[in-house]
Amino acid sequence: MSSPTVAHIPRQLPLRIHIATLFITLILILGGAVIWNDHIGTTRLMLQAEDERFERIADRTSQYLHNLFTPVVITVELLGWQKLVQATSLEERLTSLPYLRKALEQAPHLSALFIGYDDGDFFLLRPLPDDSPLRQTLNTPESARYLVQSMERDAPGAATGTYLFYDAQLNVLHRELRPDYQFDPRQRPWYQMALGQVERTYTESYLFFTTHEVGATLAQRTAAGTSVVGADLTLRQISTVLATSRFLPSA
């Protein structure tokens, strides 16, 4: 006769094991929450620090650009009061070269200083640094440091374009008539914008007529209201100046 079957009763774990397991689980959950909270807090602090850093860079860049443009503004305003405004011929305008050269020396980031007259005449002085793209395109004399671009119109309105190359002491090196140089300042946006208001004006970026570089023009109507003086700045020159500033982060 077989013995009676005894029902198998599952063995229960001791209560202390359950308590220990629950305690460990709670510790892991709390630890994970603390770590996640620390991660979120650290991320927020890092983002806040970066925001503050970029705000400081933006403020300094804005101030630096203000300091960069202030001499340009003063130069253009003073140019509007020079005898060049009243000059009526190329030879008379050339007597203002020492003043224009000094102004360019005080603002080396300028691409050119110029004046456009209400009769369509135009007179410009631009520096010719060693890296100027015009040295190749214009077959510039090696010792040339400045270029004068002149446009004169006679009574019937016929235009005569002239280029003059000068060394650092403003000794003329080469003078040539340029029939291909046809330029009327009255048709340019900077002239039209400045002539229509008393305060100075800034153009948007555009392609310069001679150098084919992208830049902007600061222009202002003269006191007599019959001509417009201005200064050109290329984006390349502005970028170079900003890139050499100490507060901008390196790439």
Contact of 151 with 163, CB cutoff 8 Å: no
Provide the strand spans (E) within the chain: 112-117, 122-127, 146-153, 159-166, 172-177, 201-202, 206-207, 214-221, 227-234
pLDDT at 30 over 90: no
Collapsing DSSP to helix, strand or coil, 83 comes out as helix
pLDDT value at residue 39 = 75
Q: Which residue has the higher pLDDT, 71 or 249?
A: 71
Collapsing DSSP to helix, strand or coil, 70 comes out as helix
* Section 16-24 average pLDDT: 71
Q: Among 150, 173, 144, 182, which residue's Cα sits nearest to residue 163?
A: 150
* Section 172-189 average pLDDT: 94
Contact of 126 with 111, CB cutoff 8 Å: yes
pLDDT at 10 over 60: no
Determine how many CB atoms are found less than 10 A away from the CB of residue 83.
11
Q: Among 215, 89, 75, 66, which residue's Cα sits nearest to residue 150?
A: 89
pLDDT at 18 over 50: yes
Which amino acid appears at position 209 of this protein? Answer: F
pLDDT value at residue 86 = 92
227-250 confidence digits (pLDDT tens): 999 999 888 766 766 666 554 444
Which residues are registered as beta bridge partners of 207?
A: 214
Q: Which of 61-70, 143-152, 240-249 has the highest mean pLDDT?
A: 143-152
Name the pTM for this structure. Answer: 0.71
What CATH number does the domain located at 70-243 have?
3.30.450.20
pLDDT value at residue 52 = 62
Chain centroid, CA 16 distance in Å: 73
- Nearby residues of 154 by Cβ (< 8 Å), 6 or more positions away: 160
pLDDT at 179 over 50: yes
Tell me how far CA of residue 94 lies from CA of 109, 113, 165, 172, in angstroms.
Answer: 22, 13, 12, 11
pLDDT value at residue 125 = 97
* Section 102-114 average pLDDT: 90
The pLDDT confidence band at residue 104, using thresholds 50, 70 and 90, is very high
Give the alpha-carbon dihedral of 59, 220, 182, 168, to 10 degrees.
-70
